[in-house]
Structure 1
Amino acid sequence: MRRRSLIVGAAALPFASAAKADAFPNGPFRIIVPFGPGSATDQSARNVAEGLNKAFGVPAVVENKPGANGAIAADVAAKAKPDGQTIFVCSNTAAASNVALMKSLPYDPLKDFDPVTIIGRAPVFMIVNPKIEAKTAGEFVALCKRQPGKINFGSGSASTRISGELLKAKAGIDMLHVPYKSTPAALQDTMAGHVQMCFADPVTSLPQVKAGTVRCLGVGSRGRYPLTPDIPTLIEQGIPDFGLMTWTGILMPRGVPQPVMAKLREAMLRAITDPAYVERQAQGGSEIAPCTPEEMRRIMVAEIELYREMMKVAGIEPE
C-alpha cells in the first residue's frame, strides 16, 4: 500500500505542475525599469505592461528605480522570486555594459537572468544646446579645442557616458563629464544650458530635435540610420570609427519555469510587434528588433567585450 501511494503521488506531480502553470499569473505583474519616466526604456516597459494586461487580464505595474547606471534596479530584479511575476525591462547598460564599466556589481547579467528578447535598437545621437556655436560635429570639436576643459557633457547611462569619452579620445578634445540618473535628465539639462552636450537615444531626443529645443550634430552609427537619413554620421564628419548602438531588452530572474516563460514571451512578442507600436517607435527613431533568447545572450556577451575595448580606447578605468 505504501509503495502504491508513492507511485500515485509521483504520477500526480506532472499534473500538479501543469495546473500551477495554468493558474499563472497569480497576481499583478511587477515591471522593474532602471531609468526614470520618459526614458526609452521606460516607454518600452509601459508598452510591455499594456500588452501583459491585455494578454492576462491583470495589472502590470512599472517601477522606476534609477541610479548606479541601472545596477540598483538590476539587483532588485535579480533577487526577485523567479515565478514570472517580476520582469526586468532594461537597456544594454544594465544587461551588459555595466560588466565592463564597473569593478563590482551586486548582480551578474549572464548568470542571474534568463534573456527573453531584445525590444528595439538605435544609435546614439550627439545633442547640443541650440545656443552652442556649432552646426556640425567638426565645428563642435573645434570649439572644444579652443576651450579645453570648459565644455560639459552629460550622460545618463553607460552607453552615453562611453559615447562622450569616446568622442574625447577620437577627436582629441577635453570635456568635463557630468553624470545623471537618466538620459531624459541629461537631455533636460542640455536643453536648459546647464551642460552643453549629451549623447542620447533617438526615442528620448528626436522630439526635442524636431521642436528645436536642442540640435543634433550627428548619429553614432556606421552608416546613416534608416529612420533619420538626413542626419550625417559622426564618422562621415571626421570622427574615426565611431559606432555605438543602444538597445532595450527583457530579462527574467533566472529559474522561471519554462511553461510560464513561454506564455510570457508570446505575450511580450505580440506587444512589441503590434503594427501601431512599431510605427510609433519608428516615428520616435527606434527600430523594433525582436530576437530569440539565445541570440540575446550572444549579443550581451559581445556587448561586454565591445565596451571593454571601447573603455581601453577612451582610457577609462572601471569604477
Structure 2
Amino acid sequence: MFGRRQFAKAMGVAAFAVPAIGRAKKFPAGRVTMVVPFPAGAATDISARVYAERLSAIWGQPVVIDNKGGGNGIPAAESVARAKPDGLTLFATSAMTQVVNPAIYDKLPYDPIADFAPISRMGTSPFVLLVDRNSPINTAAELTAKLKAEPGKHNYGAGALPARVASELYKMAAGVDAVYVGYKSNPQAIPDVQSGLLTFMMIDTVNAKIAMDRGALKGLFVTDSERYAAVPAMPTAAEAGLPEVLLTTWTGFYAPKGTPAEIVDRINADLYAVSAMPEVVERLAALGGTPKLMRPAEFAAFASAEKERWGQIIRRANIKVE
C-alpha cells in the first residue's frame, strides 16, 4: 500500500511542496461554479467532477459543475471571461478553448491569455488511433497501406477539434488521404467505425479506453512518447513508424482575469492536495488519465507554448471552421 509521498512521486506532482501561505488563506464563502465547456460524460467533465467533489469537502461549501457544451467551447469560455473575479467561478477546460480555437477562428469573444488567470494544468491525454475491433487491420502500417491503395475512398470521424487535429497530423505524417466526417462528440463516431462508415478515428485515451474495454474498437498506436499504461501492448506512434505523430491534449483550471493571486494560489495548493489522494489517483488511472499539475506561472508558460505548437499543425493541415 503506497503512502502519500509514494503516490505523489508516482504522479510526478510535488504534493508536499505546497506553500503554507496558500493553504492558510481562507477561501471565499459561497457556492463555487466550475464551468465545463463540454457535455456531461465528456473526458474533461469526468475529471472535473473528481476534483470538484474533493474541493467541496476541503472548502466546506458546494462546488457545482455547470456544463456549457456546444460552440466549440466558445460560449463557456466567454461566460467565464466575463464572470466576477472573486474565486467563485472556475473554468475546467481543455486545449480546445485555449489553444485550438485561437488557431481556427479569426475572431473570438474572449482572449485565451488576457481574459483568464491560469491556476493549474489538470492532466494530459494523448490520442489513440482506433479501428473496428473486427477489422482485418491490426497495425498502423496496414491501415496506412490500405489508405494509400484506395485514396479518397475512406472516411475518418471526430467530434472534437483536438481529435481532428490529431487525425490530420497522422494523415500528413503517413502521406495518406481520408475524408473528415464531423460529429457532436467523439463517442458518437464510435458506432460508425464499427459499421464501416468510418475506417478509423483518433480519440483521447479516456474515451479510447472505454471503447476498447467494451470490445468496440482496437487501438493501433498512442500519440505519446511512452506507451499507454492501461494498454501496454499497444505501441507508440514512433514505434509504429510515425515519430512525427506526437501530440497530447490537456485539461486545466482557470479563473477570470483579476482573481486575486492569493485565491489562485490557494486553489492551486488545494488541487495539489486533491491530486495526492490515493482514491483520486486510482479513479483517474481507471479512466486512463494521470494528474500532471503545475504552478500558475508554469502553466501560463506551458499554455503559451502549446498555443504556438497546435497553431502550426492546424495551419499546416489547413483546418477551417465549418
Provide TM-score, normalisation by structure 1.
Answer: 0.85
Q: CA deviation at 1:139?
A: 1.2
Q: CA RMSD in A?
A: 2.3
| 2:27–2:266 CA contact under 8 A, matched in 1 | no
Q: Which residue of 2 aligns with 1:253?
A: 256
Per-residue deviation at 1:197? 2.2
CA-CA distance at 1:198 after TM superposition: 1.8
Task: Provide, for residues 207-262 of structure 1, a one-character-per-residue CA deviation record: whole Å limited to 9, x for no partner.
Answer: 22123111111111134345543211222222241100111110111111233323
- The match for 1:102 is 105
Within 1, Cα distance between the matches of 2:44 and 2:191?
17
**Using a 3 Å threshold, how does the CA distance of structure 1 residues 107 and 191 change in structure 2: closer, same or farther?**
farther
Residue of 137, 147, 154 corresponding to 1:134: 137
Name the counterpart of 1:161. Answer: 164
- CA deviation map 1:46-101 (0-9, x unaligned): 01210221012222221222223222211111111111111100111212222223
**1:234 paired to 2:243:** no
Give the counterpart of 2:122 among 103, 109, 119.
119
User: 1:1-319, aligned counterparts within 5 Å?
Assistant: 24-187=27-190, 189-191=192-194, 193-317=196-320
Q: Structure 1 unaligned segments of length 5 or more: list them.
A: 1-20
> How far apart, CA to CA, are the structure 1 residues paired with 2:149 and 2:138?
16
Matched residue of 2:219: which SS? Answer: strand
Give CA-to-partner distance per residue, 1:164-202, whole Å, 9 cap, x none.
Answer: 111221212221112233333334554565533221111
Tell me, yes or no, if the aligned pair for 1:66 and 1:182 is still in contact at 8 Å.
Answer: no
Give, in whole Å, the separation in 1 of the partners of 2:308 and 2:264. 28
Q: CA deviation at 1:290?
A: 0.8
Please say if residues 153 and 197 of structure 1, whose CA atoms lie closer than 8 Å, have aligned partners that are also in contact.
Answer: yes
Gaps of 5+ in 2: 1-23
Identity %: 37
Code of the aligned partner of 2:139: T
Whole-Å Cα distance in 1 between the matches of residues 25 and 139 of structure 2?
57
The 1:262–1:240 alpha-carbon spacing in structure 2 relative to 1, beyond 3 Å, is closer
Give the 3-state SS of the residue equivalent to 1:88 in structure 2. strand
SS where residue 104 of structure 1 aligns?
coil
Larger radius of gyration: 1
The AA in structure 1 aligned to 2:150 is: Q
Q: How many residues align?
A: 299
Q: Which amino acid aligns with 1:69?
A: N
Distance 2:71 2:180 in 1: 15
Question: Secondary structure in 1 aligned to 2:272?
Answer: helix
* In 2, Cα distance between equivalents of 1:187 and 1:66: 20
Change (3 A) 1:190 1:38: farther
- Letter of the structure 1 residue corresponding to residue 148 of structure 2: K
Instruction: Supply the distance in 1 between the matched residues of 2:216 and 2:36 (Cα, whole angstroms).
Output: 27
